[in-house]
Amino acid sequence: MPYQNEFARKTTHFDFVKNPEIQAFLNSCEYLIPPNEKEARELIRVFQKPPRPSKIELPRLILATDGSYYESALNDRIPSTRVGYIKIGAVLFSLEEFANLHEGHFVDPFKVAALQDNNTSLAFVLPSANVRLSGYSSVRDSFRAALDEQLLSEKTRFDPKNFHTSLRGTLFHLASRRPGEMGTDSPFRLKLHKCPTCGKGPIEIEDKLEQQFCPHCGAPVYPSDCLRLWEEVHDYQSNGTALSRLMMILEHLIPIHYMRFIQQKAFLALTKIAFFVDGPLAIFGNAAWLHRSIMIYLYEINEKLQRKGMPPILMIGLQKRGQIVDYANMIERFLPPNSLFAIEDEYRYKYILANREPSKHGFGFETYYGQDFIFKTREGKSFVFGLPYPFKSKEEPGSDFAHEKTEWHRYINLPVAVQLIEHLQTELYQDAVIPIALAHRYTAISLQPGGRVLDLLTRRALA
Ligand SMILES: [Zn+2]
């Protein structure tokens, strides 16, 4: 009962805790409890010194993406009428540029600002509660049409004249790789599990500009319906869930989009770039199927790189919050610097997710495409990061995925990842890697003053 004493200090809380029903409830709960010295020694036994080969070549460039979303009322007097905004920032900078930012221990704010000028960011505007596009009868149908249009828009294309190079085109590349019946053998075709209007399916769709229709009921269907966000869009309430899901999908889709572009333009350049993503390497919700396609996509690129004698793509998911971060903070004072652990399922369920029933096929079977690591740097800062699984599938016959995914030697980039995270840690952004911090700073829509500007823009646009 670690929090009891904290409660007791505040008299108002004290009365609650004395209540026998609340006491019984608290006793029946399971939650993270800070370990004592003896327990902690047991917990940190699994950590080892990270691999530090004598010669490590760091990537030349960092590409970091990070998103934010915001839902705004169109009018203060009608707060139930809302529009959703999603902004995904991408920062690309070279490690040399980063080195030049530091003047001794002082980070020059002008140089940071100049770096932010090299950013690009993508903004999406989507109808939310009580807002319909003209010609559409529901928020859901308006959301679907607006999403598809914006994924296809010129601002997302590598080549403005070629719509196959849009973000929607990248979605086709991933969706066509779905294992089993939902896959197609062409990057210009994908399948929807069902029609959002009549519920019949699957339906095959092409990557083309013309409006496509359900063969069963004749209602419009869109390629991006495959993300199944429409299932969480409602007419009269906030659509925060659908917006946050879409933001998360875009945070993973955009690095893949860049990889697709770089792959075509300068294949070997892929090995010079580190791709930083915010959060675990996983896709949650109705679009979780996308994680398998990403796994396959990365595997295919890595196979090509390997044939040329090159290391795999360096993609790092950095977690700033969540249960593992809480756990890492809790054991941090017991953990010696320069320690690394690839989280094993058994350990995770026993110590980190103690209140959760272990999944039958192993942790993250339906969602994760990367392995989580806990790392404490030589300077003593703790990070939780993920690297893509070096496998095409989690179900290769004869393989023991749950074990193999935690074997360090399979992650060829692990020493580089460790070195890079150590290289980028700063005094300024405590426990945050600077690209994420920069991307976040650039894209964050805060209620004041940024959000206010968007409120005004919305009203003007609709005035
Ligand atoms: Zn239909």
Q: What is the per-residue pLDDT across 281-303, written as a single tens digit (0 to 9) for each?
A: 999 999 999 999 999 999 999 99
Ligand 1 centre to CA of 324 (Å) is: 42
Q: What's the mean pLDDT in 321-326?
A: 90
Domain boundaries, the chain: 1-30, 35-121+245-463, 131-235
Residue 103 has pLDDT above 80, yes or no: no
Question: How far apart are the C-alpha atoms of 52 and 430, rounded to whole Å?
Answer: 24
Question: How far apart are the C-alpha atoms of 224 and 230, rounded to whole Å?
Answer: 10
- The winner for highest mean pLDDT among 63-67, 349-353, 387-391 is 387-391
Q: Residue 364: which region, alpha, beta or left (left: phi > 0; alpha: psi -120 to 50)?
A: left
Q: What is the per-residue pLDDT across 165-196, written as a single tens digit (0 to 9) for each?
A: 999 999 999 999 999 999 998 999 999 999 99
Ligand 1 centre to CA of 186 (Å) is: 23
Residue 427 has pLDDT above 50, yes or no: no
Across the chain, mean pLDDT equals 84
Q: What's the mean pLDDT in 19-46?
A: 81
Work out the percent of the chain whose per-residue pLDDT is above 90. Answer: 49
- Structure pTM? 0.86
Residue 197 has pLDDT above 80, yes or no: yes
pLDDT of residue 413: 95
pLDDT of residue 65: 81
Ligand 1 centre to CA of 163 (Å) is: 25
Q: What's the mean pLDDT in 54-77?
A: 84
Angle at 299 between CA 185 and CA 209, to 5 degrees: 40
Residue 423 has pLDDT above 90, yes or no: no
pLDDT of residue 2: 34
pLDDT band at 108 (very low <50, low <70, confident <90, very high): low
Ligand 1 centre to CA of 40 (Å) is: 57
Ligand 1 centre to CA of 284 (Å) is: 26
Residue 388 has pLDDT above 70, yes or no: yes
Ligand 1 centre to CA of 148 (Å) is: 17
**Please, which residues bridge with residue 72 across strands?**
83
pLDDT band at 5 (very low <50, low <70, confident <90, very high): very low
For the CA atoms of 318, 322, 327, 330, the dihedral, rounded to the nearest 10 degrees, stands at 100
Residue 207 has pLDDT above 90, yes or no: yes
Ligand 1 centre to CA of 188 (Å) is: 21
Ligand 1 centre to CA of 306 (Å) is: 44
Ligand 1 centre to CA of 138 (Å) is: 16
Q: What is 257-293 written as a DSSP string?
A: HHHHHHHHH-GGGGGGEEEEEES-SB--GGGTTHHHH
Give 450 or 187, the one with higher predicted confidence: 187
Ligand 1 centre to CA of 225 (Å) is: 12
Ligand 1 centre to CA of 430 (Å) is: 51
Ligand 1 centre to CA of 236 (Å) is: 24
Ligand 1 centre to CA of 194 (Å) is: 8
pLDDT of residue 449: 33
Ligand 1 centre to CA of 231 (Å) is: 15
